[in-house]
Chain A
């Protein structure tokens, strides 16, 4: 195998991005590790991140964007592996609801991820890939690592922390772990705990990965191979949960894929099958299968009330953070009821909270889409909060 073949191989490309990211990266020394909830100390710790806009002189205009399960730090820059635009370019940028002419936007890859922050694809200090030797990650670990990055950037208080889905969980954890460091919080399409149904779907995905013989107990890096089939199946199943029946029906119905009739076989006769297969296959090129196990586990373990005697309202006692929560009517993965439970807890704690349920048939993925009610509300909330703080434009 020639050198050029290796570097063009998506496996190699994604491993390189995990270990030596093409974007910004901060590395903490062996004595400066991260204490993880699982009891381990993660050292050395590296964090891959991106920033947008300009930090003002008193460092008061920083917005931390938290990414979802399979997201990354490339919010508003092209993804270095796929070359596709950033995952939230409609929300973050000059003149956008999270306006980079006014705010300094930070987004980092989460701990356990595969885009430059320490994760199972990274190598230990002995130079071997962690694989399943990587400590199990929690949402709190992700947030603690982000806090290290924020410290590194010399920022005391974040003007806002924003994110959807797993990103929303991080937003909530930030508000609970570092209440004095978060002025405004925008948790979108999320929950204060992962439901039984959501854990169930994640377990299906993990079992698909682990059933793939190419997974090799998580040690596939040593074999120069990846459990692509298992990960693709996991992604296909998960992708269904991000949509809604109505949206699937509207987009695909029972339409056939490039054929006039059913074929009495198991090819992708239906457009929806072809679509899901494509989603699965394109995902495996950019995502590490072990990272998928760790990310899903982190979400499963998330239960914000657990440390507060099961009373979620106690998690927000005395909070001075202002919240803006948003849910979507057709989201059955993080339904309005779960988002409203957060709002009720915030109300009970006497917190300053706004909440909107956006009426849409686009399901959970709506948080990534340019939906006017979402953009008006989040943009308006952020702008009004920034006005109150007197944050000026920096560009």
Chain B
């Protein structure tokens, strides 16, 4: 399962946005026919991909009018809403998988959102940009400025991303939010999965993005 690049179903050119290498990893984590909620579904690209590859039954939540309109016109069910406010209304265990891709850093309350994902879904998949990535560290260390990269092109004052974290930070949040880490993949700067055998400290430096598969810890 760790070698995602060798899978015959995977072709990076298929994703709507090649920057979203996390889509590949997410698709590998989701079994055929699953019921999936994509929180922050944008124009529906991930759902479209998952429908095509995994024949999933999918719903989305998206904050932008344009994203919702585009997705709905592609036949994807999307509700215009806000991860911070609207997850509350979804029933417990309503979905097999709830996906939050590249969105947790833009939420007001990542812990609450994470708990909601685990309540609504039997599994949660969370992907985010790793602020511990070596280029981020180098940018801050050498330039003394908040990092601005190709993937995160915002300046600190106009960024929608208000809660950045590192992979190590996210481990802590999972502990606090009673999330069990079933699987965790770090993607390199070249957007390839880093070997599972590498230690966390190394992945936290070499990983540009991370994708976590989580379940709820039973108390």
- Residues of A at the B interface (CB closer than 8 Å) are 322, 324, 340, 343-344, 347-350, 352-359, 373, 376-377, 379-381, 383-385, 387-388
Contact = CB atoms under 8 A, between A and B. Distances in A.
Nearest to A350: B94
Given A373-B69, A377-B72, A380-B74, A356 B89 contact: no
Nearest to A380: B73
Nearest to A388: B75
A352 B73 CA distance: 15
A357 B65 contact: yes
A350 B73 contact: no
Given A344-B89, A347-B89, A348-B91, A356 B73 contact: no
Interface string B57-77: 001000001001101111111
B68 A356 contact: yes
B147 interface: no
Contacts of B90: 347-348
Contacts, number: 71
B75 A387 contact: yes
A385 B72 contact: no
Contact of A354 (B65, B77, B86, B91): B77
The secondary-structure label for the interface of chain A is helix
Given A322-B77, A348-B91, A373-B65, 19 more contacts: A324-B72, A344-B86, A347-B79, A347-B86, A347-B91, A348-B90, A350-B94, A352-B59, A353-B79, A354-B71, A356-B68, A356-B69, A377-B68, A377-B73, A380-B74, A380-B75, A381-B75, A384-B75, A385-B75
A99 B94 CA distance: 35
B103 to A, nearest CB: 18
Nearest to A379: B73
A356 B80 contact: yes
B81 interface: yes
B78 interface: yes
A353 B77 contact: yes
B80 A381 contact: no
Contacts of A383: 73
Contacts of A324: 72
Interface in B83-119: 86, 89-91, 94
Given A348-B89, A350-B91, A355 B69 contact: no
Closest 4 CB pairs of A and B: A380-B73, A384-B75, A344-B89, A355-B79
Nearest to B73: A380
Contacts of B79: 343, 347, 353-355
A324 B59 CA distance: 12
Which of A353, A354, A357 has the largest count of B CB atoms less than 10 A from its CB?
A354
B196 to A, nearest CB: 36
A380 B72 contact: yes
A352 B65 contact: no
Contacts of B74: 380, 384
Given A347-B90, A348-B89, A352-B59, A376 B69 contact: yes
A228 to B, nearest CB: 42
B146 to A, nearest CB: 31
19 contacts: A343-B89, A344-B89, A347-B86, A350-B91, A352-B77, A353-B59, A353-B79, A354-B79, A355-B78, A355-B80, A355-B81, A356-B68, A357-B65, A373-B65, A377-B68, A380-B72, A384-B73, A384-B74, A388-B75
Contacts of A350: 91, 94
Contacts of A352: 59, 77
Contacts of A381: 72-73, 75
A385 to B, nearest CB: 7
A303 B76 CA distance: 29
A344 B85 CA distance: 11
Contacts of A340: 81
A352 to B, nearest CB: 5
Contacts of B65: 356-359, 373
